[in-house]
Structure 1
Amino acid sequence: MVLYSALEVATKNYIKTKKPDTDYLVNKMQSPDLQNLYKHYINAKIEVMVDKAGLTTIQEMGTQRNKIAHQGEDVGMTNLSAHYSFVSSLIKKLEISLGYV
């Protein structure tokens, strides 16, 4: 859940920085569907950040996040290492695109 939240914060910051006119909408957006946000907005309107496999990973992470947050399910350590590596790499890619690194 923390990984998904970190990716959400980084994604929102990326969008607001790249498209300042979206600031209000991004700030009011609660827990967006990141997979759709990357597929239909970031990849399509800004720059390609995530490939098909990455979109699948984001979807898996979102599903796990929702099971924890809304159903109180214990999803265990399923794919934790892979998800950590993916999120770390994607956040680094976002930071590079923004000129932070």
Structure 2
Amino acid sequence: MNKLKNFTLVIAMAALLVSCFSQMHIVGQGAQGSNEVTKWNHYVIAGLAPVGVSDPAAMANGAKDYTVHTRHSFINGLVAAITFNIYTPTTTTVKY
């Protein structure tokens, strides 16, 4: 019984250590204005197979200077957890 309690505690602590990842890319001089476009990227099988991935250059609407922020937000993680990582979305935001 004590081993089961310890195992449950370790699993709970490991679940709390999971964090959201975030990547930022600056193209040209970076965002020059306050325009912002956000889209979800769609992956399956724990992110191994892309189904629909956004194109940051197209999202920037032809701007030469923009900032791309790709992240796995809490909502993305919640959706992934509900689907047991069969569907694993990320979010891309482009500021230009």
**How does the TM-score come out when normalised to structure 2?**
0.25
More strand by share: 2
Please tell me whether Structure 1 or Structure 2 has the larger radius of gyration of its CA atoms. Answer: 2
More helix by share: 1
